[in-house]
Chains A and B, each alone.
Chain A
Amino acid sequence: MLALTLQIVLNGLTTGLVYVLMALGFTLIFGIMRVVNFAHGELYMVGAFAVTVLSGKLSWPYVPAAVCSVILVGVLGSLLERFLFRRVIGNEFNCMILALAVSICLQSLGLIIFGPDEIGAPRPVTGVFHFGSGVIPADRVFVGVMAILLLVAFYFFLNKTHFGLMMRAVAQDPEVAALHGIRPKRVHTAAFAIGSLLAGAAGALMAPIYTVFPYMGELPMMKAFIVVVLGGLGSLSGAVVGGLLLGIVESGFATMLGSTAAALVAFAVVVATITIRPEGLMGRRS
């Protein structure tokens, strides 16, 4: 039983860290721009396809392929903000509809370019690690370590850099921030790019672990949504707590009662959170 519990926790932590990466980008964009970005899953898909093409078809080493993929998704995000979302910022409903439209367009583009087949990306790491009686595939450890590094980098960027301070200022009050000489539009573009970059990073990291196909973003998008509702929409610490919690709870229920029960529990937790604590575990009451 101890071995099974250890395995459940290890599985949950690795899955949870990817949820955190997805949710961080999603909640960052909402926190600063009030945009519920339903195209976030498709940015994950673009990251996964980019790394698959670069490391698979063009035979690049994985790390440069992943770095280029992440930058590509970041640039795509900044372009989406600059040419599409900027026009509707301030109107949450229009932003949501626009995000849905972008999501469908990116999915369809993926389908046209790559077809519906699920393809595999070359794996940068193989083998397994043994933690006591638990076993964990080396590629998942790699993903977990990379996710932690990204989280730490993101934390320092947001809390220890001037631009991070500007972002937090715009998130709190864009008008007062503008009075202090901060240009909110510039911050919006950067926030959208960084949020997209995090989704692209999750996609590039997960591509070698799962298969890559145009609709692969739907499930991670749903998980990101659950995580931010659980942790608190717009709360970065909530995204971390929510992601890890969801990963471990899902792992436990999927192992003990099956994947259907795990999905049911995830949504039951969302319903309970919205009912009992609408602002989420770490969110602020507005």
Chain B
Amino acid sequence: MRFMSLVTGTAIALAGLSSAFAQDTLKMGVIGPMTGPGAQWGLAAAGGVQIAAKEVNDKGGLKVGDKTYRIEVVPYDEQYKASVAISAMQRLVNQDGIKFVFGPVSSAGTLAVMDISRDTKTIGITGAYSSKALDPSNPYMFRVYSVASDFAEPMVKWLKKNVPTATRVAIVNPNDETGWDSDKLLTELYKKYGYMVVAKELYERSVRDYIPILTKILAEKPDLLDVGTAPPASAGLIVRQARELGYKGHIVKIGGSGPRQIIEAAGKDAAEGVINYIPADEQNPAYQRLAADFKTMTGNEMNPLLVNWYDGAYILMAAIQAAGTVTDTDKVRQAFAKALPRKSVLGGTIELGGKNLYGIDNAFLTTNYIGVIKHGDVVAVGTAD
């Protein structure tokens, strides 16, 4: 009997000791398209946050005040659908009790969860391209990277200078919030810089055969085809099918990045010369380290946008540390102004801004590059800032 009491007492004492040393867990959600068209963007979001979380955990955790937290990442697939994004957000907030969410990645998803984010004071760090994703009415929603409204004008300026022969532009975008926004922005910008917009087409995301819409577009004889915010694999098919129909003009993508997937879908020859917005210089050693980490983790090639999500995770953690709390999201959102500016893993500076465009300083302004596909590789030829 005495022996049993001794064992029980020791067990209780050890349990108490271990709980005293146990780390608290800080959960962070990710909402992005993990399947279907655009999956590269969702996987980049989840991958960037997971790599950053692993690095912090490997170094002992995130110290906030006098506590140290182990970061746990909870990713959900939004399938590029607003209704699925809402379900994911509700699950993260109500069931998982999460106060910090990376995503949604899609514009439609982000606009759909804006009210939930504001009403529950959940910090969202979106990847949405829509200008409506940042709004003074919801100070809890931030954006992880510069978007078309930030880099499109410098890119059009670059095209005007470096591709002076092009004058007739055709624009192709998906038929949803992201595409409508891109269509409006690009049309205004091309017109502003003296181009003639000869054709504009919106397509359904499930479509894989673009030959009918390209037939109509190419009948207008454009010499510059902008594939806007088409997901990279879809953009690759548009590029290939346009070339097959005999299009010899320039092709540019001022929108969601993914030159590697464009090459995969279009083939090296058809993709030659495509001008892309790219968020990162692939030759940078830090980029290559992240690409290797992502390959080890998932077995897939890394999308360049992962760099922004990786940086975004560190920015959020810096803001939480500056606020000294993991529960008071009002303090955390105000602390972003202290966390930024800071250096990106690639070396450029990330700043907080956006008030002039969106009425609120909730955009992480990142360095943007212009890349050209050459011999199956992506070469950075300038910056779009």
Contact = CB atoms under 8 A, between A and B. Distances in A.
A135 B265 contact: no
B233 interface: yes
A212 to B, nearest CB: 10
Interface in B200-258: 201-204, 206-209, 211-213, 215-216, 219, 233, 236-237, 241, 244-246
B43 A116 contact: yes
Interface in B348-371: none
Contacts of A210: 208-209, 237
A215 B35 contact: yes
Contacts of A214: 35
A259 interface: yes
B212 A218 contact: no
B298 interface: yes
A90 interface: no
Chain A interface size, under 10 / 10 to 19 / 20 to 34 / 35 or more: 20 to 34
A64 interface: no
Given A135-B246, A210-B208, A218-B206, A116 B215 contact: no
Interface string B263-301: 011010000000000000000000000000000001111
B272 to A, nearest CB: 14
Interface in A62-98: none
A263 B265 contact: no
A211 B212 contact: no
Contacts of B206: 218-219
B39 interface: yes
Contact of A123 (B209, B267, B299, B300): B267
A250 B211 CA distance: 11
A286 B274 CA distance: 56
A262 B261 contact: no
A118 B37 contact: yes
Contacts of A164: none
A210 B210 CA distance: 10
Given A120-B265, A255-B212, A128 B40 contact: no
Contact of A8 (B212, B261, B264, B301): B212
A165 interface: no
Nearest to A206: B208
B315 interface: no
Interface residues on B, range: 35 or more
B267 A8 contact: no
A95 B376 CA distance: 47
A205 to B, nearest CB: 14
B213 A115 contact: no
B97 interface: no
A37 interface: no
Contact of A117 (B40, B202, B204, B219): B40
Interface string A201-237: 0000000001101111011000000000000000000
A137 interface: yes
Given A120-B264, A259-B203, A263-B204, A4 B219 contact: yes
Nearest to B34: A116
Contacts of A8: 212, 215
A137 B116 CA distance: 48
Contacts of B209: 15, 210
Interface string A9-22: 00100010000000
A4 B206 CA distance: 25
A251 interface: yes
B60 interface: no
A115 B212 contact: no
Nearest to B245: A135
B171 to A, nearest CB: 13
10 contacts: A8-B215, A116-B36, A128-B246, A135-B246, A211-B265, A214-B35, A251-B212, A255-B212, A255-B215, A259-B175
The 10 closest A-B pairs by CB, nearest first: A254-B212, A118-B233, A137-B244, A116-B39, A255-B212, A210-B208, A259-B203, A116-B35, A255-B216, A259-B207
Given A211-B236, A259-B202, 18 more contacts: A7-B215, A115-B299, A117-B40, A117-B233, A117-B301, A118-B37, A118-B39, A120-B264, A120-B265, A215-B35, A216-B208, A219-B207, A254-B213, A255-B213, A255-B216, A259-B203, A259-B204, A259-B212
